[in-house]
Structure 1
Amino acid sequence: MSVPPEFSKKDSSSSLTSAHSDSASKVELHNNKNNILDRVTVFAKTFPRRLFQTIRRNKAYQLLALLLILLQVILVTRPDSITDTVGYYSASFSNPAVVEHKKDLLNVDVSKILRFKRWAKSPVSKNVQKQKFTSKLVTGFVNNIDITKQKLKRKNKKDHPQDSNVHEGYENLASCEDFAYTAPMEHADWSDILQDDLITARREMIKKGGLMAKEVQHESEKDWSEEKIIKEHFFRFGSSAVWLESEECFVMYTRVMYSFKGSKRDDHFSFLRGQTFDRDWNEIKGKRIPYNDMQIPNDIEQEIKLLDAALDQNQCDSLKNKDNEMFHKCQVEHTKNFLKNSKRKEEILSNYFITYPTNVNVPFDPSKNIHKGPQDPRVIVRKTNDMEDPIIVFNMYDEDEKKKRMFAFHPHRRVDPLIKLMIEGHPMRNDEKNWAPFLHEHTKESALSRGTLHFVYSLKPLEILKCSLNDGKCEVVFGADTLGLEKDNSYGEMRGGSQWIKLPDVLPTVKDKQIWVGFPKIHLSRSACRNHYYRPMLSVLVESNGVYNMDLEVPVLDFGLDVASWDMKGSYCDLLNVLNPNNIAYWDVVNQDPHTKKYEDYLAITMSESDIFSRVMVIRGVLDYILGAYKEKEIKDNFQVDEESPIILRKTLKCIADYASEQAKEYSESHPR
């Protein structure tokens, strides 16, 4: 069909007009762009000169420029004012939050994240970093070796031609050398003895009254000085400390034992003593920390100010040179009211704050039997979005069952702070102790719930408990029967020591896994020192989809110490030689070499010697030591039970036991009486 001429002309004219209009618009737009570009170019060329001239003429601008330069320097070096969150996200483009495999942790670069760390909140002080450290080779044993890779590795070793048959039985093929892993670790030459004023602690107990006040004053002490009573009848050990970031201090809880017979092994009762310390382990006296479950009234600050004014010893000074009689009467009245107002102030504050140092208010009856009260305290901090809640775990004689049971105590809570822990559907021992606590990331948080704690109940075989902090009910969530392992893979000499903590949070997590590090203890009987030998261990605990295993275990970790003898007359190894791990106070990373991926990390642990005193020891290089095991050894990513699993566990257990016995023997021979 043809187009009519009139329509054809009209459309053609319209098209030409439209095309001309579009072309003109494009030219105009192009010219505008060129004009803008020219202006920007001129501005870019002249702005620095104009800015420099303005700064030269104006001192305020000079100061502003100087501040901007200083801010840039701070950001490049160590920006304390930047929050951890900002720092994390600014560096997270190159560093994953989750890695696929444990070995991937070897390739992580966190050096940028560390530049944004809030060092004011870190427990690692400058003094600690300046200490002299001694390096020592530390031997551990890995449990979860990949059998196939291990066989091939042995097959390819020229010095083991007899291992050419890769199908040979694992028990015959593998030796302790295959499981052993040796690498350096450093400990500070400085090690502080943690002190306390037990005279004040005893006075506080007597002042409070009740059964404790009566029991702590034995008739044999009637003519003794306070100093002699403390020296002869009080023993202090088992100090467990942990860092509270919100308060920027350590809280520490220590077992204080009272024995009117003067014997460490025949105590009448024990109580817990709480203290606070700064990051250099100087005690902070009078430290007040608010209870987590108490709402502080708005008017309490004003009431405290009024009481402080009433307690002011200088309030009578205005009368001193005006009226001697009135001045004297004022002083007498002030003295009469001082104790009353002081007591009133303490009563008010004690409702809302715990004040350190203090005798921890764990209720028990000290008047019956012996060995009463809390023993072997361990402390762990449960963090929620708005608070840090320390939890003390200890064993104590239970009046109802007439047996030792485990308890959890919340020192920073006023309401129902004490909880008895009971295992449901599982036989309990007469003396329950050495439960080592840890926090599981899948614990659900709730404003109405205190949450849960997990415990390593037994190490050989490995058994894990999960306990409610609301009612104290515990269940076995992992045990030997969980995987159908043989009962003969047991070793009672390994026991719970410190709490277990996760790898430093600057590291990414491993997909579907949780990794903890703890310091259990080994107790060898009749193998060294004539009777009993106690030493810290180091272990790496891994969980994946509900299955737990130990990837690495160091049988003996003594830091080269000459441990005090039981009678405190030397360091000889006789009868009992006791160095016990108590608590990990902190573990923090301060630096990383971005090229070698080596870390500068510090871990502080409190330990007790000979049940008489406690010390803090700082270790450097724990993180490199642990990660190095995954580099040097063919450790499987997951622990799977098969026909060879019991053989592996039995073999490594023998290696651990033999190595520990050899270390004990060497110490005994080098420290004769």
Structure 2
Amino acid sequence: MKGKALVKNRFFVGLFLLVVFLVVNSLILIKKENFNDLQFVDKIGLKGFLTFGKTSKDITKLPFPLSQSLVNSNLFHKFRFKSFKQYSKKDLTYDLSFDDKYCEEMVSDRELSISRDKLLPVDFEILQRNIYSNTFYKKLLEEAVHKHKSKIPIKKQWLRFGGSSVWLHDLQVHYMVSRLIFSPSGVPNKGIFSFLYVQIFDENWNELFQTLKVPEIVRIKQEGYTNDGFNDDVLLKTKLSSQNLQFPMILPIQFEYVLDSPYWGPEDPRIVKRNNPIFGFEEPVIVFNMKGIKLPNRVMYIYTPYSHDIKPLVKKDHSYASTEKNWTPFFSNQYLNADGKGTSKLNFLYSLKPLEVLTCDIDTAICEFVQKVEKDNINHFGSLRGGTQLESLPLNDILPENLRIKFPLGRQVYVGFARTHLNRCGCGESMYRPNLFLLIEDIDEGTGKSFFKIGEVSDFLDFDVQLPPWPKPELDDNGKLIETKLSVCDDKYRSVLIPNSIAYWDINSIKYKGINYPRDQFKQLSESVDSIDDVEFDDYLGVTLSAADSDVRIVHVKGLLNYIMNEPTLFDKKDVVQYDFLLKLSTDFNERCSEMASKEYCVAYGKANPPIISEEEKKKQEEEKQKQKDEKEKEEKEQKEKEQKEKDEKEQKEKEQKEKEQKEKEEKEKAKQEGSKDQGKEGHDESKGQSKDDSKDQVKEESKDKPENKDNQDSNHKNNPEN
């Protein structure tokens, strides 16, 4: 018996030692910086599970979000753009009206280093398996396929874009959520259903197909009323467990739908991360918009994947707009817990133009405005709209105190990429492009009230991305998809590049007096730095983008932190807003200038990318052109004939008028001549009568004189013998 017991004990001791040996060796391997020889579930799953719920004090030893091979590569090139600061003049008054000339005073030429964009595709076969493994999704898709009977390939009916990502230090992965659309027509803006698709990527931005062990928060609730009087489940207890998740995956979010209308399910996801205020580990928080049957409007929702908790966000004391979307999430240090590590409050830029800010409780989903503009139309939103989440500058515990940028007391600066939507501005039916902007929060230390303003906003940024055209599926007589060549500025479609997230932002190294100091030497460096003005940060930021609502891509930006450090207005105490009336002096001139510059970009882009015309379309256009030419020539001919006719008629009338006038003149002359003749005849007759009378008188006179003459003659004859 003793021998058997000894053997048994030795067996268990050996087994115990073997387990200890394996655990110790695993831990040793995990602590190594190079994890290439480990399986992913060990490399990330085990390490992540061992560390979640604990915050590492030495952040400098955590892996950098971007691999050193990418950092050290010739991946980056210079990228120039324009940016517009706040308008700040001494004579700034309430009634100051905008003038284009102010833009010249506010504009700055900026330069950053950016990488080439990298596409982040999906594996269609895995996607299909994931979507049909969910009973609810399988049922509604089968119904939709049966109803719509699409003739295009099934692969063309699935579209994925809007990828929003965060870097999870605990798990050492980029956690990305995208919008997945089922559209029988193949057109992105005519989708029937939307789903949320989650992928994970390593520091090289290669997708990982593995299982992760992640936290699971179990909330025990009972029906009741919240502190605000809302009828809702009351949280009794929160427990921490773990769960194994296979990536990629479809988030299990059920939704209402009606097959006869489109756009059901979660849309436009945005993601932020927080330290869980109870357990301390990093936790992704996802927000999206969704319409339903019970709620009359499309509203915003908040979802925490570690607890599977989903709620619609409610604006306290304010009605829903007809469509609630484009809320820009960000965390403010103002709402951090006493230990400074976690928060239960999430802020939103509700509107950028005009600037309005909400703060929402993550647990209750109740939101209150902390900055609100009174407007007649609650559905009014300007052309500058939400894009990525906002991120604070990466000046966290990784940097010693004396290496952090010093803003005025109570000031926080956030960075984000919005987007401007312009219609018919020179490129296609409409154009969407990102705009870099800075949001400034000034907190009144006495009242705790926050005042927000846009500190700077750029013109259109395209990150040198070669955009794909916006296609419209066309089928031939056999139901086969026709591949057509399109321009990114086709008149029928949109030209779209939308920013989705700031995937990460961190400092890789610091240059001081010509020497580069890596992350693990920051503390050593801080002891020798006299002035932060002599420090140059080697920081990297990743921005995810979607082009033509058909893909997801990543672009890396280098040097943004240095760019911000060189903006003097951010450090000017006189620029701090601590009263409501000062906000009226913080005009939106920079946003107006940005929109003007964006329109100039749009026109130039449209000229550089004219629509592509097919031979058939070209023939139609030529025929139409010839038709228009013929019609024009016909109109010109008719016009000439009309003009000639009018001219002839005019000349004829003039001729007739002249003839009439000539005739009248001749008649007058004739009449005049005849009148003169008659007058002459009468005068002749009178003269003749007078002559007769004179003759008669003469005869009479002669008759009287004849005897006397006869006597004289006789006398003369008598007296002259010759006679």
Give the TM-score category using the shorter length. Answer: 0.5 to 0.7
The equivalent of 1:243 in structure 2 is 167
Question: Distance between the aligned counterparts of 1:665 and 1:534, measured in 2?
Answer: 13
SS in 2 for 1:665: helix
Larger radius of gyration: 2
Question: Distance between the aligned counterparts of 1:421 and 1:597, measured in 2?
Answer: 43
Question: Distance between the aligned counterparts of 2:606 and 2:574, measured in 1?
Answer: 37
1:644–1:382 Cα change, 3 Å? closer
1:651–1:640 Cα change, 3 Å? farther
Question: Distance between the aligned counterparts of 2:578 and 2:273, measured in 1?
Answer: 32
State the one-letter code of the partner of 1:435: W
SS in 2 for 1:175: helix
Gaps of 5+ in 1: 1-78, 82-115, 152-165, 296-349
Question: Distance between the aligned counterparts of 1:273 and 1:460, measured in 2?
Answer: 31
Question: Distance between the aligned counterparts of 1:401 and 1:607, measured in 2?
Answer: 31
The 5 A counterparts of 1:19-34 are none
Matched, 1:592 2:516: no
- Residue among 276, 285, 297 paired with 2:209: 285
Question: Distance between the aligned counterparts of 2:97 and 2:78, measured in 1?
Answer: 35
* Higher RCO structure, 1 or 2 (CA under 8 Å, sep 6+): 1
Matched, 1:438 2:330: yes
- Residue among 359, 373, 383 paired with 1:493: 383
SS in 2 for 1:652: helix
The CA deviation at 1:446 is: 8.9
Question: Distance between the aligned counterparts of 2:595 and 2:197, measured in 1?
Answer: 36
State the one-letter code of the partner of 1:625: Y
Name which of structure 1's ranges 629-638 and 208-217 shifts more when overlaid on structure 2: 629-638
8 Å contact kept, 2:100–2:593: no
What is the percent sequence identity of the aligned residues? 27
- Residue among 182, 196, 206 paired with 2:122: 196
Deviations 1:392-427 (A, max 9, x none): 11101122123211001111214xx10110111123
8 Å contact kept, 1:268–1:370: yes
Question: Distance between the aligned counterparts of 1:440 and 1:633, measured in 2?
Answer: 19
Question: Distance between the aligned counterparts of 2:100 and 2:257, measured in 1?
Answer: 57
The equivalent of 1:576 in structure 2 is 494
Deviations 1:521-566 (A, max 9, x none): 1111122313211001111111112111111111311112232221
SS in 2 for 1:619: strand
8 Å contact kept, 1:255–1:270: yes
The CA deviation at 1:293 is: 0.9
Deviations 1:138-172 (A, max 9, x none): 21111253x23x99xxxxxxxxxxxxxx9x98967
8 Å contact kept, 2:160–2:550: yes
8 Å contact kept, 2:87–2:106: no
1:668–1:207 Cα change, 3 Å? same
8 Å contact kept, 1:480–1:486: no
8 Å contact kept, 1:515–1:541: yes
8 Å contact kept, 2:257–2:293: no
Question: Distance between the aligned counterparts of 2:86 and 2:343, measured in 1?
Answer: 35
State the one-letter code of the partner of 2:422: L
8 Å contact kept, 1:374–1:396: yes
Question: Distance between the aligned counterparts of 2:312 and 2:581, measured in 1?
Answer: 40
1:650–1:199 Cα change, 3 Å? same
The equivalent of 1:629 in structure 2 is 567
- Residue among 448, 456, 460 paired with 1:556: 460
The equivalent of 1:375 in structure 2 is 267
Cα RMSD of the aligned pairs, angstroms, is 3.4
SS in 2 for 1:613: coil
The 5 A counterparts of 1:385-464 are 386-414=280-308, 417-445=309-337, 451-464=344-357
- Residue among 124, 129, 153 paired with 1:228: 153
The equivalent of 1:4 in structure 2 is none
1:479–1:247 Cα change, 3 Å? same
Deviations 1:463-484 (A, max 9, x none): 0001111121111011235xxx
Gaps of 5+ in 2: 1-31, 35-57, 220-240, 444-449, 473-484, 514-533, 612-723
The equivalent of 2:426 in structure 1 is 528
8 Å contact kept, 2:275–2:343: no
8 Å contact kept, 1:80–1:118: no
The equivalent of 2:251 in structure 1 is 360
The equivalent of 2:664 in structure 1 is none
1:117–1:204 Cα change, 3 Å? closer
8 Å contact kept, 2:182–2:192: yes
SS in 2 for 1:265: helix
The CA deviation at 1:292 is: 3.5
8 Å contact kept, 2:257–2:292: no
Name which of structure 1's ranges 619-628 and 286-295 shifts more when overlaid on structure 2: 286-295
Question: Distance between the aligned counterparts of 1:667 and 1:593, measured in 2?
Answer: 38
- Residue among 531, 542, 566 paired with 2:440: 542
The 5 A counterparts of 1:600-611 are 600-611=538-549
1:503–1:216 Cα change, 3 Å? farther
Question: Distance between the aligned counterparts of 1:486 and 1:398, measured in 2?
Answer: 27
The equivalent of 2:392 in structure 1 is 502
- Residue among 108, 130, 142 paired with 2:85: 142
State the one-letter code of the partner of 1:229: I
Question: Distance between the aligned counterparts of 1:470 and 1:357, measured in 2?
Answer: 27
